[in-house]
Amino acid sequence: MTAPAGHHAIAPPRIGVLLVNLGTPDAPDAPSVRRYLAEFLSDRRVVEIPQILWQPILRGVILTTRPKKSAHAYRQVWTDEGSPLAAITRRQAAAIQAALGPDIRVEHAMRYGNPAIPATLDAMLAAGCRRILIAPLYPQYCAATTATVTDAVNAHLGGLRRQPTLRFLPPYPDDPLYIAALKSSLETGLAALDFAPDILLASFHGMPQRTLDLGDPYHCQCRKTARLLSEAVGRPVEVAFQSRFGRAKWLEPATDAALVRLGREGRSVAIFAPGFAADCLETLEELAIRGKEQFTGAGGRHFAYLPCLNDGAPGLAMLEALLRRELAGWL
């Protein structure tokens, strides 16, 4: 059928997959970190304080003091490819694109920072993506992570006349594919160590205790992941929660406190972060660098940080399988 004269061009219909991770500054310097934190900490799901109270604190105190400190931390883990999180997520998207083939367009975006969700969605729509699977790379659901992706996608599409059909990848904290991928990665990491750790410590990103009290399933899903992984590897897995921020009570036990305790007890530790799909500041700096310092400073000797699934074979195979499952009926 020939389009009428003057009709705007329409690309042939395609299926799209959008991988979404949390985000990262564009550079390891204070101005870039300030822009990133301003966006991140202004999200009402991330900081559940009335904006009239929170914004003066954010703009007047946090954004004048924290960016310099955070920029220093980012510089310790920055690579020739840029932010580790950005580089790994790009590689994950490229690998999934190769696995799914040219008939599906695979992109990646960050909830905060670049590439931004709105611009990436616009590019996918311009390329003809009429059906899009949104895949938040968060195994465990939390309103402060998973739900914000849904918020951002719907907020942007709400202003468009022509909208795509959407699906969202569900959280997968107890999916056998995820547990098997964690088991494979964990066992590979342990086999490469020159010591046998007494303790396997799974560190999940922390959340305020209030999130649990209000019914958020995150804490329970983290605990379930650790329990199923413990059963799979046949040994105990301890759980802790990292990245406390502010004065509110957060989920416990805290990772830093657990590392100090284990160091004082003379235990050997292998720590890993199963809730992160890709290594980032919170794993490479907070756990692998500062966590080791806290552990050894308390008298501990044998410490190892084991990487996230990243773009390794077990993680990519799991992600491809999860995506194909959700694409059923579209392919």
Residues 6+ apart with CB under 8 A from 313: none
**Residue 264 parent element (H or E):** helix 255-264
The mean-pLDDT minimum among 8-17, 183-192, 218-227 falls in: 8-17
Residues 6+ apart with CB under 8 A from 61: none
Residue 127 domain flag = yes
Q: Can you give the CATH number for the domain in which 118 is found?
A: 3.40.50.1400
Residue 209 domain flag = yes
Whether 232 and 180 have beta carbons less than 8 Å apart is answered as yes
Write out pLDDT tens, residues 262-272. Answer: 999 999 999 99
Write out pLDDT tens, residues 37-87. Answer: 999 999 999 999 999 999 999 999 999 999 999 999 999 999 999 999 999
Q: What is the pTM of this model?
A: 0.95
100 and 242 housed in the same domain: no
Q: Which residue has the tokens 């004082």?
A: 264
Residue 6 domain flag = no
Phi, psi of 195 (to 5 degrees): -150, 160
Q: How confident is the model at residue 245 (pLDDT cuts 50, 70, 90)?
A: confident
In the chain, the number of structural domains is 2
Residue 68 domain flag = yes
Structural domain harbouring 289: 176-305
168 and 181 housed in the same domain: no
198 and 131 housed in the same domain: no
225 and 93 housed in the same domain: no
Residue 1 domain flag = no
135 and 219 housed in the same domain: no
Residue 2 domain flag = no
Q: How confident is the model at residue 331 (pLDDT cuts 50, 70, 90)?
A: confident
